[in-house]
Structure 1
């Protein structure tokens, strides 16, 4: 998903590919997929095939250079996996759903947004990371854009209720793309902790010079032993497909923002992840 906060900040995939061509050896691999998305009569089966081919090709290309990339390899692969999951979920809805033209276009735009994120991740990996791009952003506008994606796509057919409680709606200084990654990693964890459904509450509030964003799920919770190492790389809650990198990435992003993470959890009593960020 690509969160756009104004028309001037929206970047088309074609220009993005051109911008990153020299920085990343992988950007050209998205060209065919981009052409497909420009076609209003796109065949969904062909789209699914191209997404899966791209996923395997990109994984292989990055794997070949793992030892050059270092830890950026693991982090990029984790976030690319989430991006490809989003693309495939949208394509699956396109294939099975009877959609209005506007809904179909929205899904194609979401796929394009995930493509843009993959290009950026590959570029960061190739360059061994890039500096943060910190700028003021409205937390209310951020969530207003983020929440529909969760409701209509990430939580689709999962019996998960999403509740929003914004006590603070003002601005914070963040790198929008990095914070999007952090939010998505937390939400994926919350979703996986509630396989039979439940409730995820996202709340914002200001405490002195900090803005806190809380993610509270009603899932399976964590033992004290798991909590003690929850933010370390390669620590998983036991799900077969887990890499154990999601929360380590979140911690690194918060550290770079001079923020902190607080975790509250108990077995069978849910989990709260609290991100605290300086207002200035």
Structure 2
């Protein structure tokens, strides 16, 4: 809601015309909160504010009506219903004790016919008001979008944090009970450690997502073969804990690629972790490597059920969990941001008889 400043020349022209021939113009007084007209009423005339202030609101029957504009002394309101010949599109309510002049529709037509300048001035004033209204509306839509995103973000994160916290709570009770056998205590401690790792991953995903850029990316030339060795050493055991085996179908090339080792490992971890989510009974993730004149191509294929066509276009959107029971829905979105920070590209596809296939393209470095 914003205060509205009227076109002074229009107010002056209208006032001069009304003083020459008042016609059916009459003075009204409205107390604070008094309704002057309601949404849906017939457009039988327009109003001039001589003193006080009038709010133009919608949803006046609701507990908290929304104020569209605020009309002060010298301003007019109610002209829209005259221009378009339709019922009132909003409610006019006195913000405080106000003095108004009501100009019946016949007198409005009369003064406009006698003064083309007045009609032109009204159109200019009306256009300015529409521009202001449109600008406010766009800002409100953007704000609503931001609030919706925050709501989805909070809902997703809180829901997903509760599950591991509940497991940790149960495991802690089990481990701390005097009558718990040693084997069960060991199992409970393992559960706690596993869920702490899960929480850590989720928190890191949230932190990554809230950054405008995917962390500090420092690109350094590195033989891709060496990177793959580091990658398998780091995420191989983690994948194994979930029953997932990582297999290199082709040998990783030794070509130089500009890499931020820590961040690119995170991108591949997100892909493989996402694949594991869709293979609850375990499975295989296959890596394939190919070269073009200026790019390295890496295919990451899992042995799951593949990508449903209806979700393919939204796969890298934030909060896109697509039926998964765990995770924040941020992993693939973050993965895409990391790859793009490496000046690369990522896409996904699915073929009959195959699982999900993610293809990463990274530019080759000139030298090590």
Q: TM-score, normalised by structure 1?
A: 0.54
1:37-56 correspondence runs (5 A): none
1:225 aligns with 2:310: yes
Pick aligned residue for 2:356 from 262, 271, 275:
271
**What is the alpha-carbon distance in structure 2 between the residues aligned to residue 157 and residue 127 of structure 1?**
29
Greater helix content: 1
Q: Which residue matches 2:321? A: 236
- 1:206–1:226: structure 2 CA closer, same or farther, 3 Å change rule? same
> What is the CA deviation profile of residues 9-43 of structure 1, one whole-angstrom value per residue up to 9, with x for unaligned ones?
xxxxxxxxxxxxxxxxxxxxxxxxxxxxxxxxxxx
Q: Which residue matches 2:93? A: none
**What is the alpha-carbon distance in structure 2 between the residues aligned to residue 232 and residue 126 of structure 1?**
14
Pick aligned residue for 1:182 from 267, 282, 293:
267
Q: What secondary structure is seen at the aligned counterpart in 2 of 1:166?
A: coil
**What is the alpha-carbon distance in structure 1 between the residues aligned to residue 311 and residue 216 of structure 2?**
31
Q: What secondary structure is seen at the aligned counterpart in 1 of 2:241?
A: coil
Q: Which residue matches 1:260? A: 345
For the 8 Å contact 2:255–2:364, the answer to whether it is kept is no
1:248 aligns with 2:333: yes
CA RMSD of aligned residues (A): 4.1
For the 8 Å contact 2:316–2:332, the answer to whether it is kept is yes
**What is the alpha-carbon distance in structure 2 between the residues aligned to residue 261 and residue 127 of structure 1?**
20
Cα displacement (A) at 1:269: 2.8
For the 8 Å contact 1:261–1:274, the answer to whether it is kept is yes
Q: Which residue matches 2:247? A: 163
> What is the CA deviation profile of residues 159-199 of structure 1, one whole-angstrom value per residue up to 9, with x for unaligned ones?
x3321122422221022222111111001011112222222
- 1:167–1:222: structure 2 CA closer, same or farther, 3 Å change rule? same
Cα displacement (A) at 1:234: 1.8
For the 8 Å contact 2:271–2:332, the answer to whether it is kept is yes
**What is the alpha-carbon distance in structure 2 between the residues aligned to residue 224 and residue 125 of structure 1?**
26
**What is the alpha-carbon distance in structure 1 between the residues aligned to residue 321 and residue 314 of structure 2?**
9
Pick aligned residue for 2:276 from 191, 199, 206:
191
> What is the CA deviation profile of residues 195-233 of structure 1, one whole-angstrom value per residue up to 9, with x for unaligned ones?
222221112221220011211111011111111211122
Is there any run of 5+ residues in structure 1 with no aligned partner, and where? 1-66, 89-94, 97-107
Q: How many residues align?
A: 186
For the 8 Å contact 1:221–1:265, the answer to whether it is kept is yes
**Superposed structure 1 runs of 4+ greater than 6 Å apart:** 118-121, 124-127
Q: TM-score, normalised by structure 2?
A: 0.42
For the 8 Å contact 1:254–1:260, the answer to whether it is kept is yes
Q: What secondary structure is seen at the aligned counterpart in 2 of 1:258?
A: coil
For the 8 Å contact 1:193–1:221, the answer to whether it is kept is no
> What is the CA deviation profile of residues 115-160 of structure 1, one whole-angstrom value per residue up to 9, with x for unaligned ones?
8xx89996x78975544211112221222122134333322262x3
For the 8 Å contact 1:166–1:205, the answer to whether it is kept is no
Q: Which residue matches 2:237? A: 152
Select the structure of larger CA radius of gyration. Answer: 2
Cα displacement (A) at 1:274: 1.0
1:1-280 correspondence runs (5 A): 95=186, 129=213, 130-156=215-241, 158=243, 160-164=244-248, 165-266=250-351, 269-280=354-365
Greater strand content: 2
Question: Higher relative contact order at CA 8 Å, sep ≥6: structure 1 or structure 2?
Answer: 1
**What is the alpha-carbon distance in structure 1 between the residues aligned to residue 314 and residue 274 of structure 2?**
15
